[in-house]
Amino acid sequence: MTKRDYYDVLGVGRNADEEAIKKAYRKLAMKYHPDRNAGDTKSEDRFKEAKEAYEVLTDANKRAAYDQFGHAGLDSAGGRSGAQGFTDAFSDIFGDIFGSRGGRSNMHRGSDLRYNMEISLEQAARGAETKIRIPTLETCGTCHGDGSKPGSSPKTCSTCNGHGQVRMQQGFFSIQQTCPKCQGNGKVISNPCTTCHGSGRIKQHKTLNVKIPSGVDDGDRIRISGEGEAGINGGPPGDLYVVVNLSTHSVFRREGDHLHCEIPISFSVAALGGEIEVPTLEGHAKIKVSAETQTGKIFRLRGKGIKGVRSHEKGDLLCHVIVETPVKLTERQKELLEELESINLENGSRHNPRAKSWMDRAREFFSE
């Protein structure tokens, strides 16, 4: 198989310097590296082709022989191997792929915290302000976060020279690993602070004011920036997330911006109609119940629900009617009901149409 021109492989001109060649190679290696293209033989071939071109063009003797005689001149080229140059470039690429290039900072952002807050439906609807007390890790006031006893300071790690990582050489490959002595911090504490024992942070409780916006719903999160755990080695603090949990209400059930409630009415009001009073979050409202109302009928009171955080107007209040069967009847009540039942039976299809229809369907079912 005829080999392509090495300059064409890397996409550089013949007068390109070593830095331009290295940059071009790194770009191709990042694109065609086998770890990023598992099972793709074409990408693997392109990677090997770019690797070979790089090894030749970064070796002064090999490049001179190639420029004069082409691929045939490489068999007799002497001098330094390009393997070390390849190793350095590949280690940089390896770091780019796996996120460990050039060491790492020993400053770390503090962890985020979560606080579950239970609030009432009224608080969710109107908004509220409350205080919470949370456990957290704060910067140590004795050592100011560096972990050393006052009067002393952390020393640069002698193993990694403060980089936090050490390089392991394995043949052509150079792999960076977390320094085993300083655990990636880059510094070693020889005289730890007695308050925080060298960690730079201490456990404390703090009290915060939390503003609950009107319209929050169950499961919503309120983010309070910078109120999480303190950062490590001067890193920024995390955030606090207050997760809202709505407590069960004795009257209403929330569904988005709408509210639901069950309204029991007497048998006589359901049959004859009337006016009943229902509760709302703002007070009371009146509903006109039409005659012959059945259980399950829903009366909608528009604008009596909740205005959500992201809503432009309030939801509705939906009142579900439940006809209540009277209990603990007196003898007189029983007599009246028995008399009513006997009258109903004389013309059941007129007075109890749903019962009549149901009985007819039941008879048809059993007769099949």
CA distances from 149 to 53, 146, 164, 201 (A): 55, 9, 22, 13
Which pLDDT value is given to residue 1? 56
Q: Which amino acid is at 196?
A: C
* Pairwise CA distance, residues 315 & 303, whole Å: 5
* Pairwise CA distance, residues 282 & 274, whole Å: 23
Q: Are strands 128-139 and 201-212 parallel, antiparallel or unpaired?
A: antiparallel
Q: Is the pTM of this model over 0.75?
A: no
Which pLDDT value is given to residue 97? 44
Which pLDDT value is given to residue 92? 47
253-323 folds as: HSP40/DNAj peptide-binding domain (2.60.260)
Q: Which ranges in the chain are annotated with CATH 1.10.287.110? A: 6-98
Q: Which residues contact 197 (CB under 8 A, 6 or more apart)?
A: none
6-98 folds as: Helix Hairpins (1.10.287)
Residues 254 and 244: beta-carbon distance below 8 Å: no
Q: Which ranges in the chain are annotated with CATH 2.60.260.20? A: 105-148+197-248, 253-323
* Pairwise CA distance, residues 256 & 306, whole Å: 8
Query: Please, what are the averages of pLDDT over each run of 10 residues along the chain (368 residues)?
Result: 84 89 88 77 87 89 82 58 45 45 60 94 94 91 87 86 76 73 82 89 92 93 91 84 94 95 91 92 92 92 93 94 90 90 74 64 64
State the architecture of 105-148+197-248 in CATH terms.
Answer: Sandwich (2.60)
